[in-house]
Structure formats: structure tokens, C-alpha cells
Amino acid sequence: MPIEVIMPKVDMDMTEGTIMTWHVAEGELVEKGAPLFDIETAKAAMEVEAPANGRFHHPVEEGTVVPIGQPVAWLYAEGEEVGNPPVRPATTNEVAKDPEPPAADVATSAPVAAADVGEVDVLDAPFRAGGKMRATPLARTLARNASVPLESLDGSGPLGRVQADDVKAFLERAIAFPIAAHGSVKFETGPLAIHRSHSGTGAPVVMIHGFASDSKSWAPLETHLKGRPLIRIDLPAHGKSPSLRVDSFADLLGMVRGAFDELDLEQVDLLGHSLGGALALALADTRPRSIRSLSLIAPAGLGPEIDGDVLSGICRAARSESLKPWLAGLVFGEGLISDAYARVVMNERSDPNLRAAQGRLADVLFPDGTQAFDLRAALHRLEMPARIIWGRNDAIIPWKHALRAPGNVALHLFDRVGHMPQFECADVLGPLLREVIS
């Protein structure tokens, strides 16, 4: 008899989870403890391991919401006959479908070539029928992040399956003008911008900036991280990234996770600030084997409190004179935000569509001035070396949120420092981070 792979319960109040990504292909031999799939719950995302050895068959479709304890796939013993999928209870987002084709149809699926490893269609099973567009997991991720309907693409793979290259080719041909709008926000297509250093050895340092900032905000720290490759990710509607539509923290995490997976790195040291800290924490929870160390600077996601007035004020400001007072709220020391600095920042924010997109993002993630996502459970699941860095004078997110961390997470608090330690005390923070990642 095949072994059920069930939806696990990872939070005390969890009732269901969403299958985000399968890491193995239909028919592939897996070993107990190997990464099998990613799930997402109302509070977190994480990687689930194979419960036993066996050949992987009959996975539910990516994006399916499954109650806890219900099967999501089966593992067959070597040589065990594989027929129709065992009868499974309906999942919460399943609707009536056509009868499944007979078991003989399974054998008509073409074998996966070695060159396709990393982009195989793990959903090519009989229950996949029903008119849904065939696409590889990577292609689905790229299309979802770029808001491209799969139905608009011509697939170059077997049986018309959409490949990642099909999505990339479409994006390269697409005219870089807005394709959708939400109120005054015009959404665009394209992947997140990734900036790489051209020198350094060893595991890269991946850096994710905070809300209303961009990858250039890491400049004060970069001199302290010389010798290591640096990779900086711009969030949607920030820096050089397009203004993609984001409807939830899970949406945003999916985009960042897709960009991280595209890097195809074996091991990295991960660094995040504020909203980027929340994303870094969630990424470490989902991709633990890829993270050597995790450093969080004033991370969001550890409590509901946040100064929403500063966030909305930054989004509204259309002139450097109105922007400067809000920027001053990010730091502790007077005079750190000069008129010249405010003008430089405002010049980067001159596009009204960017400001409108950031305003919508703030409304989605921080409705009514409250953090709408909670990553405390993820913090307690960390196994890699991790530390939280915070200014005791942070007026945006209370530093006492850090006290909710478990004992295996190091805590560094700085007096007379606000929400931007990487800007306010880079000469102290830089050597500390260098020690962490060495």
C-alpha cells in the first residue's frame, strides 16, 4: 500500500494549508527527510520533508488549499503497481470535475529529460485534467509574479506545456507600459530587480531592504562586507523593480521567493531590514537549507504595532519639503536627515505611480496602521544562526518586539539609534555583521 503524504499541522490554530511548490517530479524516487513541498498557512510558510522513502505519485495541484491531515500525495514502494490515485476527500478549493481518465493514461506522459531537472512538471498526473493550462512550476511562479495569464502564452514543451523560457520570452517582447490599473495605481509586468556585486568569494550575502527604501540603502554597510559577493533585491514598486500588484503578504513573499529561487544559490547569508526583515524571516522559514545565517534589522512581523502615519506620510509626500519631516521620524539623531538628503530621496520618488503603488502596498500590509501579518511562529522554528538588531529609539516599530524571540536567537540593541541602524551606526553594525557571516 502506498504511504500517504498529508498536510501537516505547523501552527496550533492551523486548520488548512496551501500547496505552494512541489520540489520533486511525478514518479521521482525520494528519500525520507528530503524537501518535498512548500506550504503556506495564514501565519507562515515552510518547507515539508518526505515522511518516508518511495516513488512520488499523485500530488494535488499547486495552489490547492488542503485541510490538515488530508493526503496531498502518495509514496509508492519500489516496484509497487501505480494505478489511479487513491480516493481522496475533496479539498477546500476543489469543484466538481470531469471523471479522471483511466490509469493507462499515466503511461502516456513523456519521461522527464535530464536537461529538464529543476523545471519539471510535477503535476502531470491524471487528476490534472479539466482544461487547466499545462505549465512547469517555475513557469507558473514567473507568470504569477509578473501578472501574466498562462492562457495568453504558447507553450513550447511537451503537449504544449508552458516552460519558464516561454514566460521570459513573453516578458522580453512585452512593451514596458502599464497593463492594469487599480485606482490611480498602474501595474506593470516584469521580474524583481536584482543587483549583484562583481567581486568577492564565498557564499553571497543576500540583502532585502525595507518599505519605501531600495537596494541603495545598504551602501553604508557594503564597505564592511567587502570580500563577499553581495546581492540586493528591490521589492515591487521600489528601486528598479516594476510596480507589481500585491494583494497580501503571501503575495509579496511569493515574488521575493521566486526571485531568490531564480538565483539558484546553494548557500547564502541573508540580511533584511524592516519589511525586508519580515520577508527574510519568512524566506529562511521556507528555504532553511539555503540559509547559512539570518540577520534581521528592526524586522516587521513580530507584533501588530507600527507607526502607520509615517508610512502614509512618506507615500503621500510629493516634494522634498513635505518628505523631510517624515524621513526624520525614521532616525534618532537630529540633523541626520538634511535638506540635500531629502532632495535626493525625493528625486528617487518623483514617479507618482511609484508613490501610489507604495501607498497601496502599505494599505495591504499595514491596514489601519497595523501589521497584518504575524511571523512569530516562524521565528521559533529557525535552526540556522540568527540574530536581531534593533535601535532602542525606534519610533516606527517597537524594539520590544525583539523580546519575543526564542533563546537561540541573538539580540543586539543600540542606544540612541532609531529605525535605520544600517544608516545611523554603520561603523558599529558593519563589523558585527562581518563577524556573523565570516
Distance from C-alpha of 48 to C-alpha of 53, rounded to nearest angstrom: 14
Strands 180-182 and 386-391: unpaired
Q: Which domains does the chain have, with CATH numbers?
A: 3-127 (2.40.50.100), 133-174 (4.10.320.10), 187-437 (3.40.50.1820)
Strands 35-40 and 180-182: unpaired
Closest CA to 356 of 189, 215, 191, 236: 236
pLDDT of residue 6: 92
pLDDT of residue 304: 96
Q: What is the pLDDT along the chain (438 residues), one digit of tens a residue?
A: 899 999 988 766 678 888 988 888 889 999 988 889 888 776 666 778 889 999 999 999 988 999 988 999 999 998 898 888 787 555 555 443 444 433 333 332 333 333 333 333 333 322 232 344 667 767 777 776 666 666 667 777 766 778 878 777 766 544 333 333 334 688 998 899 999 986 788 999 999 999 999 999 999 998 899 889 999 999 999 999 999 999 999 999 999 999 999 999 999 999 999 999 999 999 999 999 999 999 999 999 999 999 999 999 999 999 999 999 999 999 998 888 988 889 989 988 999 999 999 999 999 999 999 999 999 999 999 999 999 999 999 999 999 999 999 999 999 999 999 999 999 999 999 999 998 887
Q: Are 126 and 103 in contact (CB under 8 A)?
A: yes
- Give all strands of the β-sheet with 386-391 in edge-to-edge order: 194-196, 230-233, 205-208, 268-273, 291-297, 386-391, 409-414
Query: 5: which strand partners?
Result: 73
Closest CA to 303 of 237, 402, 215: 402
Strands 409-414 and 386-391: parallel
Q: Are 38 and 21 in contact (CB under 8 A)?
A: yes
Per the rule left: phi > 0, alpha: psi between -120 and 50, beta: everything else, 33 is left
Question: Exposed, middle or buried: residue 36 (CB in 10 Å: 0-12, 13-18, 19+)?
Answer: buried
Residues 6+ apart with CB under 8 A from 352: 184, 318
* Beta-carbon count within 10 A of 26 CB: 22
Q: Are 132 and 107 in contact (CB under 8 A)?
A: no
CA distances from 127 to 20, 37, 71, 226 (A): 18, 18, 14, 51
Give the three cell numbers for residue 145: 509574479
Distance from C-alpha of 407 to C-alpha of 186, rounded to nearest angstrom: 45
Query: 230: which strand partners?
Result: 205
Distance from C-alpha of 306 to C-alpha of 313, rounded to nearest angstrom: 13
Question: Exposed, middle or buried: residue 4 (CB in 10 Å: 0-12, 13-18, 19+)?
Answer: middle
Give the three cell numbers for residue 192: 524583481
